[in-house]
A and B are shown apart, each in its own frame.
Chain A
Amino acid sequence: MQEPIIEIKDLTYSYHQEQNILENISLSIHKGDLVAIIGHNGSGKSTLVKLIAGLLEQKTESITLRGKLSYIPQKVSSDNNFPAKVKEILDLECCDCKLRDEVLKNLGIDEFVEKQFKVLSGGQQQRVLIALALLSNPDILILDEPTVGVDTKTQEDFYKLLKKLHKERELTILFVTHDTGMISDYFTKIICLDNKKAHMDEAKNTDKVLHSGYGEHFHEVHHHHHKTKESN
């Protein structure tokens, strides 16, 4: 079997000598996996992806990456003053024209490249960030709750887009989310963080993982899970 593109062995992490937020976590993520990372607030989802992305310093070298990584943060920026045009932001990544044209067309950005980033809608800003990430030609794409504060339709378009990109580019995608309703439709794997531990499984077993991961909160989450599915 191929070596995992992200290999985590025995990862433990705490912020400034406080209690561990993650404890002895071992995970193998393979090329082409489309992974949803779920868990309660404070369960360490963002911490885990920040460690993988290298934004937090590991105390021991527990994470091996075998590919180029791009990261899309939770919040674009609360700053509505940033003056750059979309074009100027995309220019931050040097890349060949062919890739650029393809990415812009694929994400439907060509129509607003001349606009300033700050005047775009939340969904459009998100697409610019994805484009920026794709222009660096990554093997791994990490997204930390990128759909927070975006309407349901935009969210759904976003999941479809991810699935398409995943298929076309064989991207490995890690996606932190609270929205458990769509996991089995769009993702291949699921990682559930709970009580400092991580459980990984196939996305089709989401119910099972939710059960093991969320413990006594299962019913509440399960209820939400089915409610979201019905409304879809």
Chain B
Amino acid sequence: MFEILSYEFMQRALLGGIIISTASALIGVFLVLKRLSLLGDSLAHASFGGIALGFVTGWNPLLTALAFVTLASLGIDRLVNKLKVYGESAIALMLSFGMALALLLIGIAKKMDYNIFSYLFGSILTINSFDIALAATVLALILIFYFFNYKILLYSAFNQDIALVRNKRTKLIDKLFIMLSAVTIVISIRAVGILLISALLVIPALIGLRLSKSFKSTIFIAILSSICGVLLGIFLAYYFDLPAGGTIVMSLLFLFVLSLFFGRK
């Protein structure tokens, strides 16, 4: 069975899968605790606008998506905090904006490339070295950011008002966290695609919350289940010749259902 590990594309897929699943689990736990799961979904959809921009201009779609999603996250922050639009409405607005922009750009360019759909549903088996380097950079950024700001992040997830009173940097750290979430979403597009990114962010966090007895173990279990789900998904996709986006999400859901039986509640 291990002959598949000798294929270079498979090695890249597994390495990319491990990096992406670790990054998305680290971000997902805080997104879920801060009740921002939908923000992840919205930014993922908004990224389609950025990807279309890349296709039309000929630039690397992941890089244009990265820029676009970072701006979208700042846009949502401004809508909510300065213009006092309801959080979920701002999220819905940005989601539609990104998708509509993508449709327009594709229409204008009259360029309906098959490849653009690989971004909608993911294609981790075709991940290249550049994508892996990008994902590894994002993971490194997350780890450095958490190392220095872990307490403020946890404080803010526990109770934002207490955190704001106790530390003046809380607002800045919250903003940086959202920007990091945005870039994590972009690197995750390769694994499961825009339409299924929420699964990668939310399901491992839910498994962690269900099985853990402390915050640290929540993060640990989330990362572990995320990696297991993604690797299992990649193997299933290879052996049964199925789309990897679908097998990865189904594997994660399978682990979640298992956690329902082993969880304490």
List residues of A whose CB falls within 8 A of some B CB.
Answer: 16, 53-55, 69-73, 76-77, 79, 81-85, 88-89, 91-93, 116, 129, 132-133, 136
The chain A residue sitting closest to B221, CB to CB, is A83
Which of A73, A82, A88, A91 sits near B162, CB closer than 8 Å?
A73
Establish whether residues A83 and B84, one from each chain, have CB atoms under 8 Å apart when the complex forms.
no
Shortest distance in angstroms between B156's beta carbon and chain A's nearest beta carbon? 10
Determine if B213 is an interface residue (Cβ-Cβ < 8 Å): yes
19 A/B residue pairs, CB under 8 Å, sorted by A: A53-B165, A54-B164, A54-B165, A55-B165, A69-B165, A71-B161, A77-B159, A79-B33, A81-B33, A82-B158, A84-B154, A85-B213, A85-B215, A88-B215, A89-B158, A116-B213, A116-B214, A129-B162, A133-B162
Which residues of the other chain, A, contact B217 by a CB distance below 8 angstroms? 83
Determine if B259 is an interface residue (Cβ-Cβ < 8 Å): no
Shortest distance in angstroms between B29's beta carbon and chain A's nearest beta carbon? 9
Interface residues on B, range: 20 to 34
The 7 A-B pairs at the shortest CB distance, nearest first, are namely A84-B215, A71-B165, A83-B218, A73-B161, A85-B214, A88-B215, A53-B165
In the complex the two chains form, what is the Cα distance from A57 to B212 in whole Å?
38
Which residues of the other chain, A, contact B212 by a CB distance below 8 angstroms? 83
The chain B residue sitting closest to A77, CB to CB, is B159
Establish whether residues B164 and A55, one from each chain, have CB atoms under 8 Å apart when the complex forms.
yes
Determine if B209 is an interface residue (Cβ-Cβ < 8 Å): yes
Which residues of the other chain, B, contact A85 by a CB distance below 8 angstroms? 213-215
Besides A79-B33, A79-B35, A84-B158, 14 other CB < 8 A contacts? A53-B161, A54-B164, A70-B166, A72-B162, A82-B158, A83-B209, A83-B212, A83-B213, A83-B214, A83-B215, A85-B213, A91-B151, A92-B158, A132-B162
Which residues of the other chain, A, contact B216 by a CB distance below 8 angstroms? 88
Main secondary structure of the interface of B (DSSP, over half): helix
List residues of B whose CB falls within 8 A of some A CB.
Answer: 33, 35, 84, 151, 154-155, 157-159, 161-162, 164-166, 208-209, 212-218
In the complex the two chains form, what is the Cα distance from A92 to B170 in whole Å?
13
Q: Which has the most chain A C-beta neighbours within 10 Å: B35, B84, B164, B215? A: B215
In the complex the two chains form, what is the Cα distance from A72 to B165 in whole Å?
10
Which residues of the other chain, B, contact A79 by a CB distance below 8 angstroms? 33, 35
Shortest distance in angstroms between A197's beta carbon and chain B's nearest beta carbon? 26
Shortest distance in angstroms between B43's beta carbon and chain A's nearest beta carbon? 22
Which residues of the other chain, A, contact B151 by a CB distance below 8 angstroms? 91-92
Check A73/B159 contact, CB under 8 A, given A83-B218, A88-B214.
yes
The chain A residue sitting closest to B206, CB to CB, is A81
Q: Which has the most chain A C-beta neighbours within 10 Å: B33, B154, B162, B217? A: B162
Which residues of the other chain, B, contact A83 by a CB distance below 8 angstroms? 208-209, 212-215, 217-218
Establish whether residues B166 and A136, one from each chain, have CB atoms under 8 Å apart when the complex forms.
yes
The chain A residue sitting closest to B150, CB to CB, is A92
Which residues of the other chain, A, contact B154 by a CB distance below 8 angstroms? 84, 88, 92
In the complex the two chains form, what is the Cα distance from A101 to B158 in whole Å?
23
The chain B residue sitting closest to A115, CB to CB, is B213
Shortest distance in angstroms between A53's beta carbon and chain B's nearest beta carbon? 5
Establish whether residues B214 and A16, one from each chain, have CB atoms under 8 Å apart when the complex forms.
no
Which residues of the other chain, A, contact B166 by a CB distance below 8 angstroms? 70, 93, 136
In the complex the two chains form, what is the Cα distance from A88 to B158 in whole Å?
11
Which of B84, B155, B158 sits near A77, CB closer than 8 Å?
B158
